[in-house]
């Protein structure tokens, strides 16, 4: 029962996340590294691909903003029947028709902005900054997804190794059962000792069943991440980090502030708000436009039916005088957004400090536990070796011998967990610092 309790605690402490994927992965094989899994997920996961399509949309918005520099060209043709028509009579000369009853024309028109006092330039700059923000959001999503994959990967690794430990324990228990069975047949051991060994074997099988079930769930999640069939059999390689020297907190904070996408996103939002304010300030700027048109039409005196070439060319200046205070309130809104982004940046910095401190503390604590667990395992193995000798000599009972071996198994599981905790904590620290782990 003690082992089952410890095992349950271990499984609850291991982080993992469930995400449903749809793409077919490219990787295959018996043993996958964390890098292989991360690269496959990052390049093929649906949410990443969707975010990348947002970048394409941002590129289109930049192109749309630049179209303000290009002319608008229209071709029009018209056929019009009007009535009555105007006529004029001149004594001695007769009557003259001033306009034809049937009018037809073909025209090519061009309108182009000559100068808009910075409005188009500010719009283009705004869309470019929006694209940078979308790119940062994609990287932020990749980091978040990587963190989820770390939990899933190391959950699978723990379960794989724990099953191996249970298999080793089962071999030892069965060998011990055979030994006790022979002693019972010769009368030097009781049926209770034999029954106790059977119960211990049964408990081991039950624990292994729980481990296999948990492993199946985690592998199902991995297959979902990779977009593979749920029947795909996968294994992960044993990847554990060696002890590393930690930098000072100030150095870690400084590095995180320079590399975390959240800080970059907050800064980019501030720049975007400033650009939006610039656009608002430029809304009421004048605009100078060229207007030109050329084509053919009838209706010119003296031959009203003749299809005559004609043209129009000019320059227009538009100066907004009053916009019903729309720009005033839009400017207030933009200024409030800038102030809010400043506060958001400060909150982000504080959250990053907490994440770095927590991840570093967890890594340091896990490393201390690794050293303690190694010592406990060594002590448990020596105690079991002495117990085996004592049991063969008849000094201790079968129950005491099995307790000593249970201590060895529990120590192996505890050491495995602390090593995995240390590796996960280091990776979480890297993520907290803004390092790209994929």
Nearest to 3 by CA among 216, 217, 211: 211
Query: If we measure between CA atoms, which residue out of 418, 406, 423 comes closest to residue 374?
Result: 418
Compute CA distances 41 → 34, 144, 227, whole Å: 11, 12, 9
> Which element (helix H / strand E) includes 310?
strand 308-318
Residue showing tokens 């506060």: 343
pLDDT of 183: 77
pLDDT band for position 15 (cuts 50, 70, 90):
very low
Per-residue pLDDT averaged across 281-289, rounded? 88
Report pLDDT for 10.
39
Query: What would the pLDDT profile of 296-326 be if each residue is shown by its tens digit?
Result: 998 888 888 888 999 999 999 988 888 888 8
182-199: average pLDDT: 80
% of the chain exceeding 70 in pLDDT: 93
> How much is the pLDDT for 416?
95
Domains of the chain in start order, with CATH, are: 2-72+116-287+324-433 (1.20.1600.10)
pLDDT tens profile 319-361: 888 888 888 888 888 888 888 888 888 999 999 999 999 999 9
Q: Residue 6: what pLDDT?
A: 42
Mean pLDDT, the chain, as a whole number? 86
The region of weakest confidence among 27-31, 120-124, 132-136, 345-349 is: 27-31
* Contacts of 134 by beta carbon, 8 Å cutoff, 6+ apart: 51, 54, 55, 58
CA 391 to chain centre: 57
In sequence order, the β-bridge partners of residue 312 are: 293
Residues 124 and 57: their CA atoms lie apart, in Å, by 14
* Helix/strand/coil for 248: coil
Phi, psi torsion values for 95, nearest 5 degrees: -100, 145
In this prediction, residue 276 carries a pLDDT of 87
Average pLDDT on 182-209 reads 84
pLDDT at 366 over 90: yes
Could you tell me the CA-to-CA distances from 240 to 24, 29, 32, 146 in Å, in that order?
28, 20, 14, 17
pLDDT in tens, 372-383: 999 999 999 999
What is the tens place of the pLDDT at every residue in 381-435?
999 999 988 887 878 877 788 888 889 999 999 999 999 999 999 999 999 999 9
pLDDT for 152: 94
pLDDT at 30: 63
Q: What pLDDT is recorded for position 19?
A: 35
CA distance linking residue 264 with residue 136, whole number of Å: 7
pTM for the full model? 0.76
**HEC string for the chain:** CHHHHHHHHHHHHCCCCCCCCCCCCCCCCCCECHHHHHHHHHHHCHHHHHHHHHHHHHHHHHHHHHHHHCCEEEEEEEEEECCCCCEEEECCCEEEECCCCEEEEEEEEEEEEEECCCHHHHHHHHHHHHHHHHHHHHHHHHHHHHHHHHHHHHHHHHHHHHHHHHHHHHHHHHHHHHHHHHHHHHCCCCHHHHHHHHHHHHHHHHHHHHHHHHHHHHHHHHHHHHCCCCCCCCCECCCCCCCCCCCCHHHHHHHHHHHCHHHHHHHHHHHHHHHHHHHHHHCCCCEEEEEEEEEEECCCCCCCCCCEEEEEEEEEEECCCCCCCHHHHHHHHHHHHHHHHHHHHHHHHHHHHHHHHHHHHHHHHHHHHHHHHHHHHHHHHHHHHHHHHHHHCCCCCHHHHHHHHHHHHHHHHHHHHHHHHHHHHHHHHHHHHCCCCC
Q: Is the confidence at residue 240, as pLDDT, over 60?
A: yes
pLDDT of amino acid 360? 94
CB-CB contact of 272 with 129 (8 Å)? yes
pLDDT digits (tens, 9 = 90+) for 25-55: 444 446 899 999 999 998 888 988 888 888 8
Give the integer Cα–Cα distance in Å for 414 and 417. Answer: 5
β-strand partners of 294: 108, 311
Question: How many whole angstroms separate alpha carbon 405 and alpha carbon 172?
Answer: 9
Tens-digit pLDDT profile for residues 56-84:
888 999 999 999 889 999 999 999 988 88
Residue 8 is predicted with a pLDDT of 38
Q: How many residues does the chain have?
A: 438
For residue 7, pLDDT over 80 is answered with no
pLDDT per position as a tens digit, 82-106: 888 878 777 777 777 788 888 999 9
């Amino acid at each position: 029962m003690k082992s089952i309790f410890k095992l349950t605690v271990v499984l609850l402490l291991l982080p993992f996340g469930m995400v449903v994927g749809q793409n077919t992965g490219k990787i295959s094989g018996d043993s996958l590294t964390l890098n292989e899994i991360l690269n496959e997920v990052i390049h093929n996961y649906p949410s990443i691909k969707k975010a990348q399509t947002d970048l394409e949309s941002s590129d289109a918005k930049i192109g749309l903003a630049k179209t303000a520099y290009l002319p608008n060209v229209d071709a029009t043709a018209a056929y019009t029947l009007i009535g009555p028509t105007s006529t004029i009579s001149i004594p001695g000369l007769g009557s003259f028709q001033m306009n034809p009853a049937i009018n037809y024309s073909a025209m090519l028109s061009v309108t182009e902005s000559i100068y808009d006092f910075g409005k188009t330039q500010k719009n283009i700059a705004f869309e470019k900054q929006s694209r940078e923000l979308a790119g940062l959001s994609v990287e932020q999503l990749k980091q978040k997804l990587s963190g989820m994959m770390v939990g899933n990967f190391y959950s699978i690794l723990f379960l794989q190794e724990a099953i191996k430990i249970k298999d080793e324990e089962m071999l030892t228990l069965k060998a011990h059962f055979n030994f006790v069975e022979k002693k019972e047949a010769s009368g030097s051991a009781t049926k209770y000792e034999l029954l106790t060994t059977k119960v211990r074997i049964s408990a081991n099988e039950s624990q292994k069943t729980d481990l296999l079930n948990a492993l199946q769930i985690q592998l199902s999640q991995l297959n979902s991440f990779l977009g593979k069939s749920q029947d795909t059999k996968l294994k992960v390689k044993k990847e554990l980090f060696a002890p590393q020297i930690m930098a000072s907190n100030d150095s870690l904070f400084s590095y995180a502030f320079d590399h975390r996408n959240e800080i970059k996103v907050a800064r980019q939002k501030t720049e975007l708000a400033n650009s939006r304010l610039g656009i608002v300030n430029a809304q009421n700027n004048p605009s100078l436009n060229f207007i030109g048109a050329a084509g053919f039409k009838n209706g010119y005196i003296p031959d009203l039916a003749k299809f005559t070439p004609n043209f129009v060319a000019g320059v227009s200046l538009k100066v907004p005088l009053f916009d019903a205070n729309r720009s005033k309130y839009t400017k207030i809104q933009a200024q409030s957004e800038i102030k809010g982004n400043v506060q958001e940046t400060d909150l982000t910095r504080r959250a990053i400090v907490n994440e770095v401190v927590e991840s570093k503390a967890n890594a340091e604590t896990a490393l201390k536990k690794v050293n303690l667990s190694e010592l406990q395992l060594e002590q448990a193995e020596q105690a079991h070796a002495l117990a085996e000798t004592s049991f063969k000599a008849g000094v201790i009972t079968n129950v005491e011998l099995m307790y000593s071996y249970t201590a060895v198994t529990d120590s192996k599981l505890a050491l495995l967990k602390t090593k995995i905790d240390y590796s996960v904590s280091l990776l979480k620290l890297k993520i907290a610092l803004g390092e790209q782990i994929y």
